[in-house]
Amino acid sequence: MKRFAYILIVAVMLIVPYQVKIVYSGQQKGADLIGTWSNTVRSTNSSGESCPFVPDTITFDKSQTVSMLELGIENLPYKITLTKDERASIGKRFPELKGKALLLVLPNTSMSWDNTPMVYAYSIKKNELTLILHNWSPAKFVRKTL
């Protein structure tokens, strides 16, 4: 019985730090998005036309909503932590985004996350946000406010 208790304690000690790291890293990524961002590099297509789905200003708030006022988008839910099934579904629709950090915006609450048309690959380095949309060049933003 003592041996079983010892093995159980060791197993918990090995698993808990790993789980805490996963939870913390997901929260940190989301916290990095919070604030208002201004566009510095326009997203364009192969003809050089500006992407109509990338605003001049984008705001992420703590309630997991995003606003892009120039596009008439206000307080739409967004998600960056995807389930395995959601990630697989997005990967089938947009193979070039496989393995990238994804940002999903839900334009209609009756729609499922894995079917949303608003799928962005994103990265944050210091105070620069990069958004990549299917068939468009990367858009870059700088943080205005927290």
Residue 138's contacts (CB-CB under 8 Å, 6 or more residues apart) are 41, 43, 130, 131, 132
Average pLDDT over residues 83-107: 93
**pLDDT above 90 coverage of the chain, percent:** 62
SS3 146: coil
Average pLDDT over residues 88-104: 93
Answer whether 66's CB lies under 8 Å from 60's CB.
yes
d(CA 136, CA 95): 14
Distance between the two ends of the chain, CA-based, in angstroms?
A: 53
Task: Give the global pTM.
Answer: 0.75
Residue 105 φ/ψ, nearest 5 degrees: -120, 135
Structure tokens at 59: 């705001």
Residue 53's contacts (CB-CB under 8 Å, 6 or more residues apart) are 43, 71, 118, 133, 136
Residue 57 φ/ψ, nearest 5 degrees: -135, 140
23-67 pLDDT, tens per residue?
Answer: 333 434 567 899 999 999 999 999 999 998 899 999 999 999 999
d(CA 63, CA 70): 20
| Distances from the Cα of 142 to the Cα of 13, 59, 68, 86, 128, angstroms | 41, 11, 15, 29, 5
